[in-house]
Amino acid sequence: MPAPDPAPRLLRAFLAVAEELHFTRAAARLFVAQQALSRDIRRLERELGAELFVRTTRQVSLTPDGERLLPYARRVLDAHDALAAAFSGGPARPLLVDLNSDGTTAARVLERARELAPECELMARFESGLTWAASEILAGRLDVSFGRAAGLAPGVRAGLSVQPVRYEPMALMLQASHPLAGREAIALSELSGTTVYAGAGNERTREWTDLAAQLFAAWGIELAPPVPLAVGVAEFQRVMAKAGHPVLAVVDFPPLPGAVLRPLVDPIPLSPLTLVWRKGLHHPGVDALRTASAQLGTAKGWLVPPPGAWLPEGDLSLMRNRS
């Protein structure tokens, strides 16, 4: 019996459904009718002699054979895309790069990458949270993001490549009227019993809230309850002022009117920033971003943690061993 040799179209149909777990959304993503998508999935199942999805009226899930096929499908399609790009003769498509917010370490990396690869169109996006961005990367709606990769679910991490960028020192953003606003730096011990906001309730930033929870537990700091999700600087400033809690941030966080940023010390808590992209993605823009990260990291000492700094062991391990 000959080995199965499914067409790339069928594998793309499978990958879209596997990542969306919803036939209607997968069909919209591929710009095809849902009936055509269902036919392609059935054809692929016949060619492989395996059922790939469990379908009910309420949900779609992968079968064990579907789970087994998923990494192979990704590798085949990545190779197919790389082959098409190598012989296309035209410029690479625009690369969508999520920076979280402007003025940060990620923005500095992007600026340097644009200098290294002026022929590439590196398009910035300003969303929030690697938890959200990672799902968008795996779904093909985003190419690159930055954040704390160690905070992602193992199944999500398995589909991503990671390059360490910087051990970012953490800071506290305070209203200018706050009693601690006049300090040059704030010791963690001074925050014992204080309530600090760190994104609780925001599903897009679970990796950041998890890091904060570990830090707060070690120093007796209270995690502030969820607040309404604010979009834009003005709304974020308004909601934070209304809640009245200091906000956990990093030292490069963009300044806000009426607020001050103070580094945290004794010890210095670190936020491990990584560059993240889908495994197998070949694009000159990714190469430029990786080179820019390495160049800036070396020049500015971004990958040398301060002595005695605080960082969970799992994060430290990932930063030392890229994947």
> What tens digit of pLDDT does each residue of 254-307 get?
878 888 999 999 999 999 999 999 988 889 999 999 999 999 999 999 999 999
Distance CA 6, CA 14 (A): 11
Q: Are domains 93-164+272-318 and 167-267 of this chain identical in fold?
A: yes
Answer yes or no: are the C-beta atoms of 287 and 134 closer than 8 Å: no
Q: Find tokens 């590439």 and name the residue.
A: 120
Helix H or strand E encompassing 248 = strand 247-250
Cβ-based neighbours of 86, under 8 Å, separated by 6 or more:
none
DSSP assignment letter at 88: S
Give the rounded percent of residues in the chain with a pLDDT score beyond 90.
59
Angle (nearest 5°) at CA 156 between 153 and 160:
130
* CATH architecture entry for 93-164+272-318: 3-Layer(aba) Sandwich (3.40)
Asked: is 6-86 a CATH 1.20.140.10 domain? The reply is: no
DSSP string of 124-179, one letter each residue: EE----HHHHHHHHHTTS--EEEE-GGGS-HHHHTTEEEEEEEEEEEEEEEETTST
Dihedral sign computed on CA atoms, order 117, 123, 129, 132: negative
Cβ-based neighbours of 64, under 8 Å, separated by 6 or more:
none
Highest mean pLDDT among 30-39, 83-92, 224-233: 30-39
Q: Return the CATH fold of 167-267.
A: D-Maltodextrin-Binding Protein; domain 2 (3.40.190)
- The confidence band for 143, taking pLDDT boundaries of 50, 70 and 90, is very high
Global pTM?
0.73
Distance CA 113, CA 203 (A): 30
Encoded tokens for 6 = 């499914």
pLDDT score at 126 = 85
pLDDT at 239 over 80: no
pLDDT score at 84 = 67
pLDDT at 208 over 60: yes
pLDDT score at 241 = 75
pLDDT at 28 over 90: no
DSSP string of 259-320, one letter each residue: EEEEEEESSPBEEEEEEEEETT---HHHHHHHHHHHHHHHHHTTTSPPTT-B--HHHHHHHH
Q: Domain boundaries in the chain?
A: 6-86, 93-164+272-318, 167-267
Which is more confident, 84 or 258?
A: 258
Query: pLDDT (tens digit, 9 = 90+) per residue, 170-199?
Result: 999 998 888 999 999 999 999 999 999 998
**Farthest CA pair distance, the chain:** 77
- Nearest of 172, 207, 176 to residue 315 by alpha carbon: 207
- Nearest of 145, 150, 154, 148 to residue 166 by alpha carbon: 148
